[in-house]
Structure 1
Amino acid sequence: MERHERIAQAIELSGKKKGEIAALCGVANSAVTQWISGESKSLRPENLYALAKATGFRAEWLAIGEGAPRQSPGTNISEARHQVESYRYPVISWVAAGAWAEAVEPYPAGYSDRYEFSEYDSKGPAFWLEVKGDSMTSSVGQSVTEGTLILVDTEAEAAPGKLVIAKLPESNEATFKKLVNDGGRLYLKPLNPSYPIEVFDERCRIVGVVVRALQKF
């Protein structure tokens, strides 16, 4: 099912008219029409989460068809809509992410002039990063492409197998890798096999765990 077909289905099942959806999302009626028809090739994150809240369908399902359509699916598809909570997190730079542990307070004044929303309720301070380069792009399996917004929870458990943001001792920027355990040793592994694997030692630091990804279309 294409994205515009999922959006059309969600709006239909919500029982709301296009005008109501437009008002709840803060957009013109024509924008909703374009979302439904597929004429609009992009959907801003804030509009996506507003649409999720308006229809009761999960943002990830609306965007890329991932996961269950609804937050709390039941046995009856016509059950009352579940309202999606949205949480606001700043979009920061990779240098700021690298310096995160040295920050005196999580979000100092002027820390970011851009914010995006997610239904994810973080365990600790959290922020969005925009993926740079293709080191986490893979032709098979898990892949995170350049331009994807990733949500980082600084207090989520950083277990092997998780995608993490780490600070390497020789860099002032954070790096995005998969934390893996091989023979009792930890490594930072890119998903793109063309890039080298880094040894994770006592000089490295985990900044946070990637808990959500929002791809651009």
Structure 2
Amino acid sequence: MSMNKKQEVGLRLKQFRESVGISQKTLAERCGWGASRIGNYEAGVRSINLDDAEILAKNLHIQPYQIMFDENEIRAQRNIEPIEVQPTYQNNFPVLSAVQAGQWTEACEPYTLGDIEEWHETTVRTSPRSFWLRVQGESMTSPIGLSIPEGTLVLIDTEKTYENKSLVVAKLTDVNEATFKQYISDSGRTFLKPLNPNYPILSINENCRIIGVAVDAKLKLT
């Protein structure tokens, strides 16, 4: 059975949404809409007008015409050589405080959209359950080699598997805030290691929960 125009547009929307790894609920929240609206669009139950397409495109980091028209329609309208419409892998994630990051669990994200004042993009393909954390203090500032100075934003993927020498956000059971350190595993023992040699290395065991692994970083120079 052939699809009608609403269904075709809905299918394209679904493909773009899935390509950036976000749920219908998350996209609806970012657009300021109810949770069922995206599902209705994708099912072809509800039409997407141009105003809605602009809002959706902004949050998917594409152009509105990529949702509204297929490649043949775009070529016909532009009268140009065939173009390849590719979804971008840019995505926005919230900046969390150290306290919010420390409250993160597998079952719960410790924020609502109303709590978040700052979002930043990444081109790194990462899980939908990711967040930015601003580095505090000088414990990760190294005089040589890898150095992550205070103020750097690091993107934390909570679904990425950590390994020896991964840069991680971790939470100690007796501390309210999360901390950003290098995870070290050596001869059956595990540690959280600052990159700054002037700070102590912390031995960890069951008293520590690894929240996620750093996959991207941003630093403003001015």
Question: When the two structures are superposed, what TM-score results if normalisation uses the length of structure 2?
Answer: 0.58
Amino acid of the structure 1 residue aligned with 2:138: D
Deviation at 1:100, TM superposition (A): 0.8
Q: What whole-Å deviation, never above 9, does each CA across 1:50-102 have from its counterpart, x for those lacking one?
A: xxx99xxxxxxxxxxxxxxxxxxxxxxxxx9x885310000110000001118
Gaps of 5+ in 2: 1-60, 63-83
CA distance in 2, matches of 1:101, 1:111: 17
The residue number in structure 2 matching 1:179 is 183
Q: 1:146 aligns with which of 131, 140, 150?
A: 150
Gaps of 5+ in 1: 1-52, 55-79
The residue number in structure 2 matching 1:133 is 137
The answer to whether residue 75 in structure 2 is matched with residue 88 in structure 1 is no
Given that residues 168 and 212 in structure 2 are in contact (C-alpha distance below 8 angstroms), is that contact kept between their aligned partners in structure 1? yes
Q: 2:200 aligns with which of 181, 191, 196?
A: 196
The residue number in structure 1 matching 2:108 is 104
The residue number in structure 2 matching 1:159 is 163
Amino acid of the structure 1 residue aligned with 2:149: T
Amino acid of the structure 2 residue aligned with 1:172: N
CA distance in 2, matches of 1:104, 1:83: 29
CA distance in 2, matches of 1:144, 1:191: 8
Deviation at 1:207, TM superposition (A): 0.7
The residue number in structure 2 matching 1:122 is 126
Moved over 6 A (4+): none
RMSD (CA atoms): 2.5
Q: What whole-Å deviation, never above 9, does each CA across 1:93-144 have from its counterpart, x for those lacking one?
A: 0000001118634653423121100012222400001111100000111110
CA distance in 1, matches of 2:102, 2:172: 9
Amino acid of the structure 2 residue aligned with 1:96: Q
Q: Quickly say closer, same or farther: Cα 1:170–1:130, change in 2 above 3 A.
A: same
Question: When the two structures are superposed, what TM-score results if normalisation uses the length of structure 1?
Answer: 0.59
